[in-house]
Amino acid sequence: MNHESGYAVRAKKSLGQHFLTDLNIARKIAEAVSGGGAVLEIGGGMGVLTQFLLERDDITLWGIEIDRESIAYMREKFPDFATGRNAAGDLSEENNVQEEGRLIEGDFLKFGLRESFPKGVRVVGNFPYNISSQIFFKVLENRDLVPEVVGMVQREVAQRIAEPPGSRTYGITSVLLQAWYDIEYLFTVSEGVFSPPPKVKSAVIRLTRNATKELGCDEALFVKVVKAAFGQRRKMLRNALRAAFGNFGGEEHPFFTERAEKLSVAQFVELTNWVGERI
Ligand code: SAH
């Protein structure tokens, strides 16, 4: 995929660079962002998705990209975006990130989301797959600020996150994300539409912040219970929970004979409260 000048960004494996070459898919991802306002694209690369996001006049787009070469490419391709000029109405008064323009060179995982977007921001991107879980954990930490995420990830990761209880791939990230977000598996994307093609299939998912303000239990303990439960996912919960928390004075919870993958978010909340009263 070459720029008019014949120049293109050299794909770097260490940065998870697989450039999308199918414009229809890029357009569909941009359209899947359901609300407007401030939107942050992670890892714009050569801007295939960026161009469609910039076309939306209900969105004020920011971008964060770690790769200097990609930044240079996008600065040339989208000069207005890079300097922070804005067609949609300027949200820069509400947000604190515009000295550098709206295209930021940096690492999303180290980026001060709260300082930069105190009023909140939607997150979108064809994510670098090597850090997709870390991106979701960062979203969870900032869930009060992030109403929506639209992301392309490895298909297995998308399935895991979106699956309901009872499925084989339902796991820790499924429960923790589903506690705070409604998850939709939007569509599957094949290897062939990337350059270079990744080894695995991809999928686009949408996370929409649900109405939950508080879980109804100690949230730190909830995370511990979920992690402990899935630590031994093939065993009954009794074993997994006793290994992590002790034997609860010999008491049994009705879920003790279930396996972690069967429990819904609400049931994990119930279990967390029960554990909390006994440790
Ligand atoms: N959006 C482009 C590129 C996707 S590849 C497309 O669809 O073609 C993933 C992109 O994420 C790469 O450009 C890579 O440089 C960038 N990236 C990798 N790690 C990053 C990080 N920690 N923070 C921000 N961007 C990152």
pLDDT-derived band of residue 233, with 50, 70 and 90 as boundaries? confident
Percent of the chain with pLDDT over 90: 86
Residue 2 located in a structural domain:
no
145 shares its domain with 254: no
Using the atom order of ligand 1, give the atom closest to the CA of residue 44.
Answer: 1
Where does a domain end: 189, 209, 229? 209
Q: Confirm or reject: Cβ of 126 under 6 Å from ligand 1.
A: yes
Q: How far apart are the first and last CA of the chain?
A: 58
Q: How many Cα atoms are found within 13 Å in the side-chain-facing hemisphere of 195?
A: 11
Q: Confirm or reject: Cβ of 156 under 6 Å from ligand 1.
A: no
**Cα–ligand 1 centroid distance for 64 (angstroms):** 9
Q: How do residues 24-53 score in pLDDT, each as one tens digit?
A: 999 999 999 999 999 999 999 999 999 999
Count the domains in the chain: 2
**Cα–ligand 1 centroid distance for 104 (angstroms):** 12
Which residue matches tokens 């929970």?
Answer: 241
Q: Confirm or reject: Cβ of 23 under 6 Å from ligand 1.
A: no
**Cα–ligand 1 centroid distance for 45 (angstroms):** 5
Q: How do residues 78-136 score in pLDDT, each as one tens digit?
A: 988 877 654 444 445 555 555 457 899 999 999 999 999 999 999 999 999 999 999 99
Q: Alpha-carbon torsion 38, 40, 44, 48, what sign?
A: negative
Q: Confirm or reject: Cβ of 1 under 6 Å from ligand 1.
A: no
Q: How do residues 156-209 score in pLDDT, each as one tens digit?
A: 999 999 999 999 899 999 999 999 999 999 999 999 999 999 999 999 999 999
Where does a domain end: 180, 209, 238? 209
Cis peptide upstream of residue 196 (ω within 30 degrees of 0): yes
Residue 5 located in a structural domain:
no
Residue 6 located in a structural domain:
no
Is the confidence at residue 1, as pLDDT, over 50? no
pLDDT-derived band of residue 5, with 50, 70 and 90 as boundaries? very low
CA distances from 96 to 41, 88, 102, 120, 161 (A): 16, 17, 10, 11, 32
Helix (H/G/I), strand (E/B), else coil: 6: coil
Domain of residue 258, residue span: 219-276
- pTM for this entry: 0.92
Q: Confirm or reject: Cβ of 154 under 6 Å from ligand 1.
A: no
Using the atom order of ligand 1, give the atom closest to the CA of residue 15.
Answer: 18
